[in-house]
Amino acid sequence: MQQRDLYQHHVNPGHYAELLEAKAQRLRDLFADFNPPSLQVHASSPSHFRLRAEFRLWHDGDRCFYAMFEPGDKSKVYEVREFPVASHLINELMVRLLEEIQPSELLRRKLFQVEFLTTLSGDALITMIYHKPLGDEWRAEAEALQARLGYPIVGRSRKQKLVLERDYVSEALQVDGKTLHYRQIEGGFTQPNGGMNQQMLSWARSAAADIHHDGNNGQNNHEPSSDLLELYCGNGNFSMALADTFRRVLATEISKTSVAAAQVNIADNQLDNVVIARLSSEEFVQALRGERTFERLSGVDLSHYDFRTVLVDPPRAGLDDESVKQVQGYDNIIYISCNPNTLHDNLQVLCNTHEIRRFALFDQFPYTDHIETGVVLTRKNPS
């Protein structure tokens, strides 16, 4: 077993600009065949940008510590004393939690993983995962720990989840002078880089403004006349930010956890023009075509919507063939991608009918090969 600070050798803010430009050039090269406009590069903070992190707990006698493993070789264990890519609050709680549980055999025994979820607005949630059932004694001691730390704790073990206070954090993002409120539930997907998320939401709002401007032949119109369809909406991350840029927003998401959070977010942001439907992208395409009806769409009259713009934020696999065909039916496509290779594949078809008007890189994960891409496509004028 080796003990050292694994990340101090891999994260060097002094090299960040160089690494980001290398990513940008890879993206330019990959999409050169589409002749896109100039790439807009959105840089992350070079350190303390990640709002969530999870660590294995390694036990060495009566001592335990956060551990990571050599990629491809789990026999090499590295002690993690600090995590410079994570938020300042995560780094603070890492230390405080270990100090608190070290003297407690009940809290420490068979604890094998700890997860931290934090926000830009200063909230946090700690999840402690065990290889043992959690009973009343554990709850009592964990509640005392929660009181000392000042942040809620969730305990998990096989087929067991104990919520001592709450299982979510509340985030407040600042976007274009607006404060947007989000509930982020433990175990649900959220954007890990809050600062970059704010940049993405601002970019999407700017894209929507351009779409409306072009659609009105350059005339200013402060009352949007068309609606937004959103697929893979998650907890309504983009839905909340774009609600005031469209007449109405109809968004779909298959995860029950994310849909529940989205409903809270609609209420917290006092929106009356956003509807979230718990449907997969494939199911919603079937509903739009009239091929199937869904109880989960009861009360939603699809014929009353005027969808000219669609926003998609699919998983790494990208859009399936039927969804690609469906989104081609809209004048404007805002596509957020976490996998440039599947985005490239989808664009092979989409660019038969549409052209790329915006092309952006969002560096969600500095110091990794991961690239988040945004493109805006508009329908080609018939020749």
Express each pLDDT in 221-236 by its tens digit. Answer: 567 889 999 998 999 9
Structure tokens at 232: 């893979």
Q: Is 351 a catalytic residue?
A: no
pLDDT for residue 216: 55
Helix (H) / strand (E) containing 336:
strand 332-337
CA distance readout (Å), 250 to 41, 52, 223: 29, 29, 18
Average pLDDT taken over every residue of the chain: 91
CATH placement of domain 11-46+191-379: 3.40.50.150
Please pick, among 54, 338, 351, 355, the residue that the annotation labels catalytic: 338
Fold entry, domain 52-170 = OB fold (Dihydrolipoamide Acetyltransferase, E2P) (2.40.50)
pLDDT for residue 110: 96
Q: Residue 3: helix, strand or coil by DSSP?
A: coil
DSSP, residue by residue, 288-316: HTTS---GGGTT--GGG--EEEEEE---T
pLDDT for residue 303: 83
Helix (H) / strand (E) containing 127:
strand 124-130
DSSP bridge partners of 73: 70
Residue 281 confidence class, pLDDT cut points 50, 70, 90: confident
Please pick, among 171, 186, 230, 372, the residue that the annotation labels catalytic: 372
pLDDT tens per residue, range 48-62: 999 999 999 999 888
Residue 275 has pLDDT above 90, yes or no: yes
Q: Is 372 a catalytic residue?
A: yes
pLDDT tens per residue, range 44-96: 999 999 999 999 999 988 899 999 887 777 778 889 999 999 999 999 999 99
Question: Quick one: angle between helices 16-30 and 340-350, nearest 10?
Answer: 30
DSSP, residue by residue, 178-210: EEEEEEEETTS---SBHHHHHHHHHHHHHHHHH
Specify the pTM.
0.92
pLDDT tens per residue, range 5-43: 444 446 788 899 999 999 999 999 999 999 999 999 999
Please name the residue that has the structure tokens 């509340």. Answer: 170
Q: Domain-by-domain residue ranges, the chain?
A: 11-46+191-379, 52-170
Residue 244 has pLDDT above 60, yes or no: yes
